[in-house]
Amino acid sequence: MQLRTTVSGTTTVLSNNASGNIAVTGFKSYSLLKVQTNVAAWVTLYTDANSRASDYTRLEDEDPLNGSGVVAEVITSGAQTQLMTPAVFGFNNDSTPGSNIYLKVVNKSGSSNTITVTLTLLQLE
């Protein structure tokens, strides 16, 4: 039986509307149940660092392309928890699959902040 777990990562100080990349240690594959932020943010999860780099210039109101490596994204309006309903399947797509979960985080808080993102996961692999 697999248990739910939380993993977190924190950006450096980001100016309003600036983005930062972080990787959190999760699992090779997982079910994403919740995404929590400590301030307003746009958070995107990716299968690998190359997919994150390729998606870097996509605007907030643009949908990601199919097969682009985007696992999920949420936009929060403050310190919020976004439920993923239905839960989202995610996985690491590095050449040797590992436990990194790659995130891009955009500060939407209105002022400079560090942003902590907490993911609630169910390990699949």
Tell whether the model's pLDDT for residue 111 goes beyond 90: yes
Query: In the numeric block, which tokens belong to residue 77?
Result: 């309006």
For residues 88-116, give the mean pLDDT: 98
Q: In which band, very low, low, confident or very high, does the pLDDT at 3 lie, cut at 50, 70 and 90?
A: confident
pTM of whole model > 0.75? yes
For residue range 37-58, list pLDDT tens digits in order: 999 999 999 999 999 999 999 9
